[in-house]
Amino acid sequence: MNVRHVKVEYQLTESPNVLPSDIIINILSRLAVKSLCRFKCVSKPWRSLISDHDFVKVHFNKALEYNDVMHQRRRLVFTGVENRSLYFSYLDEFINRDVYLNNRVNNVGDNGLVTATELAFVYSIERDILVSLICYCNGLLLCQLHESKELHLVNPATRELKILPRTPKPYRYSSLCGFGYDHSTDEHKVVCGRININHGIEFCVYTLETNSWRVIRDNFNCFECTKVRGIHLNGELHWLMNKGEYEAESSVIVSLVLAKEEVREIQLSPEYSIENSPPIELGLFREWLCISHNVDADLDQTYNEFWVMKEHGVKESWTKMRVSIPYHKLSHSGFWTKTHDLMVIGERLLMYNFDDDENFWDLPIRGVDKVGSILIYLDSLVSLSRNQSKRSSKKTSATWKRRVK
């Protein structure tokens, strides 16, 4: 993304002997969010620039264009199993350690512990509360507090938090929820929904830029949604649903296309559909939809295989993959290298090599013995206030790039 996409409407300096504005913008777009938040105090023009909607996009995209910028902004965010608190850590603290560079395969032990920071401000009003991490998009997290059922949008980099307005009454206790970005309208959307057996799926869509909910309906009929959290991929939100009472015979992936707000169906692997398998879960593996088993940890059942859809929406592209570590639950963080994937297998966070089953190592975190939900996000300047968001209702020259590994 070239800085020319930012309309230089701001007189950044009164002196003719300093750098031109476009060079200043280029420099600022490479800096960390924390620094830029401080630089808003330099002057009103700087504050206006750093809050500008186009500049926010250029700043975010810079991390996708330059590895050095990417490395300083990417974070690992996760929940702890035992206390369900929310944490983040600098991803490069994991991957830059000697254990990674030397490609060792044994556990790193206590000397290799990484420190995580609790995002306590998300639930600072009510301590001892359970938190679910639902989705990530453009530097924002969607979280849910279990006791109140409130949905929170969070920007961990700016420490902004927004409690979403309550949904219309029929959708107060939703069967499904997701968060994504609509490229066609330049809007961030939270989707809640419930299953009405008589009328099909009913969705309620919250738009950050307008701070309001509206209802859409679809005549797609299904029996139940297997998990609340929607998977955001290619401008669509995906849920695994059952069209009848017998899961193995009727499970499908239901996708809501954010741009058209239309529902479509994606078929599971033919290999799975004929099996009498235990419960399964929809997730992401790298940049592909993924189906894995999900059984109670107290049961003796474990599994070694899962499926990935290598071509989005194409039934024939489902591919079986194997993992040497028996699991009852499996998830991918969204980060991988040429040789290894950052995974949660069971409740263990580890780097795993799918080309060499014996090449993996655990990544212990100080104070967090068991890891629950996990994802990778990039720090961003996206604001949860309506001041910045109002600019996004106009057609702008800068665009968000798709996230890359």
Give the tens place of pLDDT for each residue, 63-107.
Answer: 888 888 888 888 999 988 876 788 888 887 766 654 444 444 443
DSSP three-state, residue 40: coil
- Look up residue 131 and give its amino acid: V
- Report how far residue 403's alpha carbon sits from residue 61's, in angstroms, rounded to the nearest whole number: 9
Q: Which stretch of 6-15, 135-144, 316-325, 340-349 has the lowest confidence by average pLDDT?
A: 6-15
Give the mean pLDDT of the chain: 80
- pLDDT bucket at 365, cuts 50 / 70 / 90: confident
**pLDDT mean over 243-267:** 80
Question: 328-341 pLDDT, tens per residue?
Answer: 889 999 999 888 99
Q: What is the pLDDT of residue 173?
A: 56
**pLDDT mean over 208-223:** 80
Angle between helices 44-51 and 21-28 (to 10 degrees): 60
Length of the chain: 405
- Report how far residue 99's alpha carbon sits from residue 114's, in angstroms, rounded to the nearest whole number: 12
pTM: 0.85
A 10 A CB-CB count for 76 gives: 27
- Report how far residue 318's alpha carbon sits from residue 320's, in angstroms, rounded to the nearest whole number: 7
- Report how far residue 120's alpha carbon sits from residue 156's, in angstroms, rounded to the nearest whole number: 10
Q: What is the pLDDT of residue 104?
A: 46
DSSP three-state, residue 143: strand
- Report how far residue 196's alpha carbon sits from residue 213's, in angstroms, rounded to the nearest whole number: 19
pLDDT higher than threshold 90 for residue 308: yes
- pLDDT bucket at 195, cuts 50 / 70 / 90: confident
DSSP three-state, residue 285: strand
Q: CA 84 → CA 24, 123, 163, 175, 374, distances in Å? A: 42, 11, 19, 21, 12
Q: Which stretch of 27-36, 96-105, 176-185, 301-310 has the lowest confidence by average pLDDT?
A: 96-105
Domain 66-103+113-378 homologous superfamily, CATH: Kelch-type beta propeller (2.120.10.80)
Q: CA 376 → CA 15, 25, 71, 179, 382, distances in Å? A: 42, 27, 12, 15, 16
**pLDDT mean over 140-166:** 86
Q: Which of 146, 236, 154, 148 is nearest to 191 (CA)?
A: 236
* Domains of the chain, residue spans: 21-61, 66-103+113-378
3-class secondary structure per residue, 150-161: CEEEEECCCCEE
C-beta separation of 228 from 134 below 8 A: yes
The residue with tokens 């969070």 is 154
